[in-house]
């Protein structure tokens, strides 16, 4: 399962955006709390180690028109409001809240992984995909549609913390103890598999949180200050491109890695000539990079 997880992340990073569908199925099994799934929790329980903790950003705002939060982030992000929580709590935190056609839906990480795998991923093939799930892909960050970006983020959590359980755990087979000395930085695999950590994608931008209300679009994005980065915002029926470009850089941001078109009728809020929207965005380097905001 870990080999498949790593393969799917690599395929996404190499341009196969549709690999996000396959990744969702593996993540549902590893992280989602349901019968036959929840593999990471079961592994930690059987290994005798304390549950892992992860650093996550502020939660999605469930009173907004559209909001994204509870995203795994980098060490040092505490200065921007991130907090360490057990991953078993994180999986139940709201990651996306969206409104459409008078109805609202809040996706916890567990609900998002399960719904995506069941409705849009490779686990099932439904006649229709929920409108609220489609709305997520009106937005684009880190070179991916937002759903793919979220799945990759969860994949990094599963990869790191499953290896932690495997390297630190004390396992038993019947009455025999299976104890091995494994370097925490070692990555286990089988012949032909990828046994290295996924690549760092800061150069494509890392969303920290985003909140859209009737009056304001606010967000925080981490970037490599030396690299151009683009993102797509979709606060209405007319999405727009946002680009960060250092003054001394002439090249354009990388092309977005997309797999599906967003249905035009599925919008968070209709645009009209009388509507105005305030922007309140922060684009900064990660705190650990020693670069002034």
Summarised one tens digit per residue, pLDDT across range 260-274 is 555 545 555 554 555
**pLDDT grade, residue 222 (50/70/90)?**
very high
Range of the domain at 24: 2-169+195-289
Q: What is the pLDDT of residues 125-156, one digit of tens each?
A: 677 777 877 889 889 999 999 999 999 999 99
- Of residues 102 and 66, the one with the higher pLDDT is 66
Q: How far is CA 180 from CA 42, 112, 169, 175, in A?
A: 19, 36, 9, 16
Q: What is the mean pLDDT of residues 241-247?
A: 86
The token pair that represents 219 in the structure block: 């967000």
Task: Give dist(CA 233, CA 140) in Å, integer.
Answer: 7
Check if the beta carbon of residue 82 is closer than 8 Å to that of residue 57. yes
pLDDT for residue 191: 63
- Is residue 257 in some structural domain? yes
pLDDT for residue 260: 59
- Is residue 164 in some structural domain? yes
Total tally of structural domains belonging to the chain: 1
Q: pTM score, two decimals? A: 0.86
Task: Give dist(CA 287, CA 293) in Å, integer.
Answer: 9
- Of residues 43 and 102, the one with the higher pLDDT is 102
- Is residue 175 in some structural domain? no
- Is residue 228 in some structural domain? yes
- Is residue 237 in some structural domain? yes
What value does the mean pLDDT of the chain take? Answer: 82
Distance of CA 40 to the CA centre of its chain: 17
pLDDT for residue 293: 41
- Is residue 134 in some structural domain? yes
Residue (of 168, 187, 145, 165) closest to 23 by Cα position: 145
- Is residue 96 in some structural domain? yes
- With a cut of 80, say whether residue 172 has pLDDT above it: no
- Is residue 21 in some structural domain? yes
């Amino acid at each position: 399962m870990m080999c498949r997880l790593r393969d799917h992340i690599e395929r996404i990073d190499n341009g196969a955006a549709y690999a996000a569908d396959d990744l969702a199925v593996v993540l549902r099994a590893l992280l989602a709390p349901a019968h036959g799934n929840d593999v990471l929790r079961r592994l930690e329980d059987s290994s005798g180690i304390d549950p892992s903790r992860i650093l996550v950003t502020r939660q999605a705002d469930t009173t907004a028109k559209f909001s994204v939060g509870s995203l795994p982030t980098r060490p040092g992000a505490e200065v921007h409001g991130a907090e360490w929580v057990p991953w078993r709590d994180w999986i139940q935190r709201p990651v996306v809240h969206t409104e459409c056609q008078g109805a609202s839906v809040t996706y916890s990480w567990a609900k998002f992984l399960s719904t995506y795998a069941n409705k849009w991923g490779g686990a099932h093939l439904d006649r229709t995909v929920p409108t609220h799930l489609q709305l997520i892909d009106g937005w684009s960050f880190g070179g991916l549609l937002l759903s793919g970006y979220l799945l990759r983020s969860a994949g990094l959590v599963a990869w790191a913390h499953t290896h932690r359980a495997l390297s630190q755990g004390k396992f038993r087979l019947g009455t025999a103890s299976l104890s091995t000395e494994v370097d925490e930085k070692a990555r286990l695999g089988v012949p032909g598999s990828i046994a290295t950590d996924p690549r760092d994608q800061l150069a494509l931008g890392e969303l920290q949180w985003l909140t859209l209300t009737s009056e304001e679009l606010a967000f925080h994005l981490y970037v490599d200050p030396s690299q151009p980065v683009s993102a797509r915002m979709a606060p209405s029926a007319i999405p727009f491109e946002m680009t960060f470009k250092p003054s001394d850089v002439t090249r354009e941001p990388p092309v977005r890695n997309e797999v599906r078109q967003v249905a035009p009728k599925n919008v968070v809020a209709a645009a009209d000539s009388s509507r105005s929207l305030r922007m309140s965005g922060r684009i900064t380097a990660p705190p650990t990079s020693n670069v002034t905001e």
